[in-house]
A and B are shown apart, each in its own frame.
Chain A
Amino acid sequence: MVAVLPSTGTTSGVVAQRKSRTGYFLLIPGMTWLAIFFAIPFVTLFLTSLQAPVEGQSGQYVPAFQISNYSDALTEYWPQFLRSFVYAGIATALALLIAYPLAYFIAFKAGRWRALMLVLVIAPSFASFLLRTYAWKTILSDEGFITSFFNYLHLLPDDRILNTGIAVIAGLTYNFLPFMILPLYAALERIDPRLMEASNDLYASAFTTFRRITWPLSLPGVVAGTLLTFIPATGDYINAALLGSTQDRMIGNVIQTNFIQFRDYPTASALSFVLMLAILSLVFIYIRRAGTEDLV
C-alpha cells in the first residue's frame, strides 16, 4: 500500500497539472479579444477623457490631466443622463410586463407551437435595427392609426406620439423586447411543472403558486432579462434620434454628437466613462438587492 500510493499520487498530479494548463489555453482567444477590443480602448478612452484642447485648433487635443472635463460634462448634460435612465427604466419595466406572460405561455402552454413562437420572437432581428426603428416612425406618425385612436380618446398631452418621449420609450421597448423574452423563457422553461403541481397539492392556489414558486424560480431570468434590456437601452441613441424630438435626447445622442459633430473627444469620452460607471454601479446594486449573484 505504502509503496503504491506515492506513485499513483504523482501520476494523478501530472494529469491534474496538464488539465489546469489546458484550461488556461482555452482562455487565450477570449482574453486576446478582450485585451484588443476592450482593455486597450478602455485605457485610451480614459486618457482621452482627461485631454486638454489645443488653443485655436478645433478638434486637436493634447494629453493632460484635466479632471474638470468630467464636472463640465456632468453639469451640462445631467438632464440627458437622467432622461436616459428614466426612459430605459420605463422601457425595461414595460418590456418585462409584456415579455413575462408571453415567455410563460411559450414555456408552459405553447405545446407543439413552442419552437415556432420562439422563432417569431427572434424573427424581427432578421431586419436591421435601423430599419425597424424607421418603421416605427410610420406606425406612430401623426396621420397614423395609433395616433388618431389615442387622440380620439384625448389621451395624448401633445396630440401626437412621434417626436415625443412616448415614441422613444415605445421604440426602446420594442427593440429590446426579445432580449427580455429569451432569458425569461429560458428560466421558466427550466422550472419543473411538477413543482407547481406539488405547490397546488400543498394548498396553494394558482396565484399563490405563482407568487411562491414560479416567480422566485424565474428570478434569474428576470434579472438577466432586465439587465440585457436596461443596459443597451440606456446607451441607445437610435430610438431617440429617429423617434424623439431634440427635447427627448438621451445620453447616447449627446456622446454621438460630441464625438462626430463637435469633435469634442474629451467630453464625449468623459460622458462614456461616467455612463459606464453609472450602469455598473446600478447593476451592482440591483444584483445585490435581487440576491441572485450566484444565478446570473
Chain B
Amino acid sequence: MAHDRDRNVEDLHLENLTKMFGDVAAVDNLTLTIPAGSFFALLGASGCGKTTTLRMVAGLDDPTSGRISIGDNDITSLRAFQRPVNTVFQSYALFPHLDIFENVAFGLRRRGVKDVEPAVNAMLELVELAPMARRKPNQLSGGQQQRVAVARALINEPDVLLLDEPLGALDLKLRRQMQIELKRIQTEVGTTFVHVTHDQEEAMTMADTIAVMNAGRIEQLGDPASIYELPKTVFVANFLGQSNLFAGTRVASDSNMIEVMANGIKFLVPVERNSAPSDEIIVGIRPEKVTVLDLPDREKIPIGNNTLEGTVVDVSYAGVSTQYLITLPWGQDITVFEQNVIVGDRSSVGDRVLVHWAPEHTFGLAGGETLLATTAQAMAKGA
C-alpha cells in the first residue's frame, strides 16, 4: 500500500454540536477533539447519540447548531459528497449491482481519477480480497463484505474514517478476528478512525481513546485502561464493565484518604480517586479487585483494606475465573471475580465469608440524585 499523501492529517473538532429531534436533544452541546491518526471509539447504549454524532460528521445529518472542522477547515456546511470523510456503514451498504472492484473504485471514479486500477488492486490487497475482485457483494461472506466496505471507504484516503457499528452483523469469532484486522489496517494507513459501538469490549480492544456517551453527552473520555480503572460517573462504572457501588457520606479525610461511612461500614477512598464534589460519595470497586476469604482468615487481610462480611449466594465457574455473588448484611449483593489460580477448595453457597480490597483500587463517585438516574439507565442497558 503506497502512502504518498503529502498533506498532513489534522484533528477533527466538534464544537458545541447539538442535534434536536423535536424536543429531544439526540446530541447535546458536544465539544470534542479527536486527534489525528487516533483510533477513537464513541461508546454508548443505543439512542445515546453516538450514531447521530457520526452522521453529522459524515454530512448525512445536519446539526441543529454547532461546528465541525478538520484542522482549520470548517466543514459544517459542506454536503456529504464534498467532505474529506468516508463512512463504513452498519451492514456495509455495498452496491449490489456492482462487483467488488467497482464498489471499491466508486469513490475514485466519482472524483475523476483516470486510472483506478493500481489503487483498487492495492486496496484489495490490503484487505486480502484481491481474488474476489470480480465477484458481486452477495457472493461474499459477512466478514469479506465488511472488508470491502472498509476498502471502499479507505481508498479515498479520507482525513477521517467513520465506522458505524462495523462489526455488529458478524458472529463473535469473526468479530474478534475483524477487530484485530481493523486495528492492523488502521496502524498501516494511519488514518483517523472514529468508531461507533455499543460493545464495550470492542471499544476497549481497538481504540486508543474512548468517549463514553450517554443521553447526548460525553460522560467520560480517556484511554481504555484509565476509564476502566477510574470511572468518573456511575454510568461509566456500570456501562464499562461491572462495578460494586455503595452510597455513603464522608466522615473524615486527610491529605491521602477519605473515610466514607456507608451502611455502617467505613471505606477508605484515595483523595485523587474521588470525583464527588460534595460529601455524598458513592464508593466503587471493580469485581476482580476483590478477594474472598474464609472467616477464620481475617488476620490475613492487610491493614487498611476495605473489608466486608457476607454470605455466598451464588458461585458460577467460568473457566478463567469464578464469579461469586455475596449478600451483605444490609441486603445488597457484591460481585467478585476470582482468578482460578488457587488449587483446592472454593467457597460454596451458604458460606460466611470476608471480602476485602486495597483502598488504591477504590474510586469515589458523585452521589445524590445522579445515582438513581444513571443506575436506572445502566440497568435498562443490562436488561
Contact pattern, A 188-202, Cβ under 8 Å of B = 1, otherwise 0: 000010110111111
B96 at the interface (CB under 8 A from A): yes
Known contacts A203-B111, A208-B110: does B97 contact A198 (CB below 8 Å)? no
Query: In the complex, what residue of chain A is closest to B91 when comparing beta carbons?
Result: A194
B228 at the interface (CB under 8 A from A): no
Q: What's the Cα separation between A193 and B94 when bound, in Å?
A: 12
Query: In the complex, what residue of chain B is closest to A197 when comparing beta carbons?
Result: B60
Q: What's the Cα separation between A212 and B95 when bound, in Å?
A: 10
Query: In the complex, what residue of chain A is closest to B111 when comparing beta carbons?
Result: A203
Contact at B97–A197, with CB atoms within 8 Å? no
**Which of B58, B96, B97, B110 contacts A203, CB < 8 Å?**
B110
Query: Which residue, A201, A203, A205, has most C-beta atoms of chain B within 10 A?
Result: A201
Contact at B81–A198, with CB atoms within 8 Å? no
Contact at A202–B106, with CB atoms within 8 Å? yes
**Which of B59, B81, B85 contacts A204, CB < 8 Å?**
B81
Contact pattern, A 150-191, Cβ under 8 Å of B = 1, otherwise 0: 000000000000000000000000000000000000000000
Taking the closest CB of chain A, its distance from the CB of B162, in whole angstroms, is 9
Contact at B89–A197, with CB atoms within 8 Å? yes
Which residues does chain A contribute within 8 Å of B89, judged by CB atoms?
194, 197-198
Contact at A195–B80, with CB atoms within 8 Å? no
A121 at the interface (CB under 8 A from B): no
Taking the closest CB of chain B, its distance from the CB of A194, in whole angstroms, is 4
Contact at B110–A197, with CB atoms within 8 Å? no
Query: In the complex, what residue of chain B is closest to A202 when comparing beta carbons?
Result: B107
Which residues does chain A contribute within 8 Å of B59, judged by CB atoms?
200-201
A117 at the interface (CB under 8 A from B): no
A279 at the interface (CB under 8 A from B): no
B232 at the interface (CB under 8 A from A): no
Which residues does chain A contribute within 8 Å of B58, judged by CB atoms?
201
B307 at the interface (CB under 8 A from A): no
Which residues does chain A contribute within 8 Å of B152, judged by CB atoms?
202
Which residues does chain B contribute within 8 Å of A201, judged by CB atoms?
58-60, 80-81, 85-87, 153
Query: In the complex, what residue of chain A is closest to B162 when comparing beta carbons?
Result: A201
Which residues does chain B contribute within 8 Å of A205, judged by CB atoms?
79, 81
Contact at A213–B95, with CB atoms within 8 Å? yes
A47 at the interface (CB under 8 A from B): no
A216 at the interface (CB under 8 A from B): yes
Query: In the complex, what residue of chain A is closest to B87 when comparing beta carbons?
Result: A201
Query: In the complex, what residue of chain A is closest to B110 when comparing beta carbons?
Result: A203
Contact at B156–A203, with CB atoms within 8 Å? yes
Known contacts A197-B60, A216-B97, A217-B97: does B91 contact A202 (CB below 8 Å)? no
B189 at the interface (CB under 8 A from A): no
Which residues does chain B contribute within 8 Å of A212, judged by CB atoms?
106
Contact pattern, B 72-102, Cβ under 8 Å of A = 1, otherwise 0: 0000000111100111010101111100000
Contact at A197–B96, with CB atoms within 8 Å? no
Q: Which of B46-88 contact A (CB under 8 A)?
A: 58-60, 79-82, 85-87
Taking the closest CB of chain B, its distance from the CB of A208, in whole angstroms, is 6
Contact at B93–A195, with CB atoms within 8 Å? yes
Taking the closest CB of chain B, its distance from the CB of A166, in whole angstroms, is 38
Contact at A203–B60, with CB atoms within 8 Å? no
Q: What's the Cα separation between A212 and B110 when bound, in Å?
A: 10
Which residues does chain A contribute within 8 Å of B82, judged by CB atoms?
203
Query: In the complex, what residue of chain A is closest to B107 when comparing beta carbons?
Result: A202
Q: What's the Cα separation between A212 and B97 when bound, in Å?
A: 10
Taking the closest CB of chain A, its distance from the CB of B193, in whole angstroms, is 15
Which residues does chain B contribute within 8 Å of A217, judged by CB atoms?
96-97
Query: In the complex, what residue of chain A is closest to B83 when comparing beta carbons?
Result: A201
Known contacts A201-B58, A201-B87: does B93 contact A192 (CB below 8 Å)? yes
Which residues does chain A contribute within 8 Å of B107, judged by CB atoms?
202-203
Q: Which of A73-108 contact B (CB under 8 A)?
A: none
Taking the closest CB of chain A, its distance from the CB of B237, in whole angstroms, is 35
Q: What's the Cα separation between A216 and B156 when bound, in Å?
A: 24
Known contacts A198-B89, A208-B110: does B81 contact A203 (CB below 8 Å)? yes
Known contacts A194-B91, A195-B93, A217-B96: does B60 contact A202 (CB below 8 Å)? no
Which residues does chain A contribute within 8 Å of B95, judged by CB atoms?
195, 198-199, 213
Contact at A194–B93, with CB atoms within 8 Å? yes
Taking the closest CB of chain A, its distance from the CB of B85, in whole angstroms, is 8
Taking the closest CB of chain B, its distance from the CB of A190, in whole angstroms, is 10
Query: Which residue, B85, B89, B94, has most C-beta atoms of chain A within 10 A?
Result: B89
Q: What's the Cα separation between A195 and B156 when bound, in Å?
A: 17
Contact at B156–A202, with CB atoms within 8 Å? yes
Q: What's the Cα separation between A201 and B94 when bound, in Å?
A: 12
Which residues does chain B contribute within 8 Å of A208, judged by CB atoms?
110
Q: Which of B110-155 contact A (CB under 8 A)?
A: 110-111, 152-153
Which residues does chain B contribute within 8 Å of A216, judged by CB atoms?
97
Q: What's the Cα separation between A201 and B78 when bound, in Å?
A: 12
Q: What's the Cα separation between A216 and B106 when bound, in Å?
A: 15
Taking the closest CB of chain B, its distance from the CB of A198, in whole angstroms, is 4
Contact at B80–A197, with CB atoms within 8 Å? yes
Taking the closest CB of chain B, its distance from the CB of A110, in whole angstroms, is 20
Query: In the complex, what residue of chain A is closest to B97 when comparing beta carbons?
Result: A216
Q: What's the Cα separation between A216 and B97 when bound, in Å?
A: 8
Query: Which residue, A194, A213, A216, A217, has most C-beta atoms of chain B within 10 A?
Result: A194
Query: In the complex, what residue of chain A is closest to B80 when comparing beta carbons?
Result: A200
Contact pattern, A 201-234, Cβ under 8 Å of B = 1, otherwise 0: 1111100100011001100000000000000000
Q: What's the Cα separation between A204 and B97 when bound, in Å?
A: 16
Can you spell out 19 A-B residue pairs with CB atoms less than 8 angstroms apart? A194-B93, A197-B60, A197-B80, A198-B87, A198-B94, A198-B95, A199-B95, A200-B79, A201-B59, A201-B80, A201-B81, A201-B85, A202-B86, A202-B107, A202-B156, A203-B111, A204-B81, A204-B110, A205-B79
Query: Which 4 A-B residue pairs are closest in the complex by CB-CB distance?
Result: A202-B107, A203-B110, A198-B93, A194-B93
5 additional A-B residue pairs with CB within 8 Å, beyond A197-B93, A198-B95, A200-B59: A197-B87, A197-B89, A201-B58, A202-B107, A202-B152
